[in-house]
Structure 1
Amino acid sequence: MTGERTKGQSRLAALLFDPEARPDAGQIADLSALHGRFSVSNWSDEHAGIVELLHEGLTFDMGHLCPAQALHIDGLAHRVELPQGLDVDALCAVDLLPAPHLAGAGRLLPVLRVLADLLIDLTALPGLRAVAWCPARTVMSPAWFTEACGAWLAGGPFPALALTALFRGRDGGIASEGLAFLTGQEFALRPRPGVSPDQDARVAVRLTDWLVAHGRVDAPCDALLPGGGAVRIEPDDNDTLLVRCR
């Protein structure tokens, strides 16, 4: 890495700071020395604001560090466990993406697990206000991200509200955003009359976990969701899975 990023690379995650708190490469190196779980494997030009981080044998580029030009990420639509008055649009982002030699591998679960683990370490950076997951346009508190992804890395379910997003559709059902980054498809869970929104939300979370584990669905099928009951899944022509509870 020479201080320039390869064209076509897509950021996956971002750490959001107040403008005056954006870290520099030296602070990342200090955190690496303190924790010892990741290392700064390439730091060629401090003014470029880019370092390469090595964690569990994989490398990731971290960019827009101070003193490089600040980055603002627009369109973060799904807020999770953030203070009501926090103006996310006013925050400056330090972003992460797979290093160029991992091009095309950023959607693989083993790579995402390593990145999530690295991000948990990076939440110790002073002044961090929020963590963003860009494919789902999700922004969340650092503590919530650590809890959700930490449980996943410890063998729990996929963190559906961290690495994807779930939201209410116009029909009152629940739809996903960002799942297509992993499987090529989003889903729309049809509402059930007389059923509480919390019950449907639990089904949606368990459905996300099932779809991440099973991958793309190209033909109608039934799935039994642990703790969520049985659902019927039917793909349409727009890469959306229409789902109803059985």
Structure 2
Amino acid sequence: MVIERVAGREPLAALLFDREDRPAADAVADLAVGPDGFSVLNSAQAPQGSAELLRDGLTFDLTGLAPAPKCDVPGVVHRVALPGDFDCDALDATWFMVGPHLAGAENLLPVLRVAAAILRHLTQLPGLQAIVWRPARIAMSPAWFSEAVGVWLAGGPFPALALTALARHEHGIESEGLGFLTGQEFLLHAPSGGPNRQHSRIAVRLTDWLVTHGPVDTPQEVVLAGVGAVWIEPEGNRKLNVEQR
């Protein structure tokens, strides 16, 4: 599915609701109050079906609120903590995106942390069925998103299974959405038989390390906390081949 840009911006996330359950801007404003919340700006002047959200000096837009027309559901490939028959396309979407002044900076960690904090607060909206993180094409339950992001915001590891996706296949584990942050995706190679639990732990730790340290330009060994050493070798500018040592 092709997602149209809004003033040069694409959604970071989509909030999915049962049909006719999308909240109005007033419901978002009511939720905003509180020490962990945000401010809703210029609600009287905002276009119908939209809200401008402010937190820590940064603004974000929420569009597709009732009674305006719904937004398209971004393409979803990965699902976490959702029923096997969960149908994202059967739901109505609202879009969450950076404000115009942040266009082009949405992949910076300080911006991402504020975005994640606002989205975590928005998981309290009544009727919310799922959150789609568009850069990773991943849909997840609101509870999963809230817990994973909450740990990160409290000083824990990057939420590799919420703000990126880690896809298992016979050759190993491959990231999706990490390139949004670092410009590079990785393939963690596994021996014949496919990846095991240790490979899954390595992939999570590796994601956290790469988000913290940024792109890898030269082959190198990296020791990951709790899982040991891996060998990282760039393939071109956008791919990393990784092997367990």
**Does the 8 Å contact 1:133/1:163 carry over to 2?**
yes
Shift of 1:196: 5.7
Change (3 A) 1:68 1:35: farther
Match of residue 61 from structure 1: 61
Please list the CA deviations of residues 43-65 of structure 1 after superposition, one character each: whole Å capped at 9, or x if unmatched: 25566311100112211011111
What CA distance in whole angstroms lies between the structure 2 residues aligned with 1:66 and 1:140? 22
Match of residue 209 from structure 1: 208
Match of residue 242 from structure 2: 243
Query: Which 4+ residue blocks in structure 1 deviate beyond 4 angstroms?
Result: 44-47, 193-196
What CA distance in whole angstroms lies between the structure 2 residues aligned with 1:103 and 1:20? 30
2:97 corresponds to which letter in structure 1?
Answer: L
2:146 corresponds to which letter in structure 1?
Answer: T
Match of residue 186 from structure 1: 185
1:128 corresponds to which letter in structure 2?
Answer: L
**Does the 8 Å contact 2:39/2:53 carry over to 1?**
yes
1:175 corresponds to which letter in structure 2?
Answer: E
**Does the 8 Å contact 2:75/2:134 carry over to 1?**
no
Where do 5+ consecutive residues of structure 2 fail to align? none
What CA distance in whole angstroms lies between the structure 2 residues aligned with 1:194 and 1:91? 37
What CA distance in whole angstroms lies between the structure 1 residues aligned with 2:72 and 2:142? 18
Match of residue 128 from structure 1: 128
Shift of 1:29: 1.2
Aligned residues: 241
**Does the 8 Å contact 1:166/1:175 carry over to 2?**
yes
**Does the 8 Å contact 2:185/2:240 carry over to 1?**
yes
**Does the 8 Å contact 1:72/1:91 carry over to 2?**
no
What CA distance in whole angstroms lies between the structure 1 residues aligned with 2:154 and 2:167? 26
Change (3 A) 1:9 1:195: closer
Change (3 A) 1:233 1:196: closer
Match of residue 31 from structure 1: 31
Please list the CA deviations of residues 180-220 of structure 1 after superposition, one character each: whole Å capped at 9, or x if unmatched: 00000000000035786211111000000000001011111
Match of residue 40 from structure 2: 40
What TM-score comes out, normalization by structure 2 length?
0.93
Give the alignment's Cα RMSD to 1 decimal: 1.8
Where do 5+ consecutive residues of structure 1 fail to align? none
Please list the CA deviations of residues 1-54 of structure 1 after superposition, one character each: whole Å capped at 9, or x if unmatched: xxxx85220210111101111011111111124677211013255663111001
Q: What secondary structure sits across from 1:111 in the alignment?
A: helix
**Does the 8 Å contact 1:13/1:133 carry over to 2?**
yes
What TM-score comes out, normalization by structure 1 length?
0.92
Match of residue 228 from structure 1: 227
Q: What are the equivalent positions in structure 2 for 1:55-204 lying under 5 Å apart?
A: 55-169=55-169, 171-193=170-192, 197-204=196-203
Q: What secondary structure sits across from 1:79 in the alignment?
A: strand
Which deviates more from structure 2 when the two are superposed, residues 81-90 or residues 19-28?
Answer: 81-90
**Does the 8 Å contact 1:25/1:46 carry over to 2?**
no
Please list the CA deviations of residues 50-95 of structure 1 after superposition, one character each: whole Å capped at 9, or x if unmatched: 1100112211011111111112314211100012332111111111
**Does the 8 Å contact 2:14/2:133 carry over to 1?**
yes
Q: What secondary structure sits across from 1:93 in the alignment?
A: strand
What CA distance in whole angstroms lies between the structure 2 residues aligned with 1:207 and 1:82? 25
What CA distance in whole angstroms lies between the structure 2 residues aligned with 1:30 and 1:202? 40
Please list the CA deviations of residues 220-240 of structure 1 after superposition, one character each: whole Å capped at 9, or x if unmatched: 111100012100101012511
What CA distance in whole angstroms lies between the structure 1 residues aligned with 2:96 and 2:152? 20
Which deviates more from structure 2 when the two are superposed, residues 115-124 or residues 24-33?
Answer: 24-33
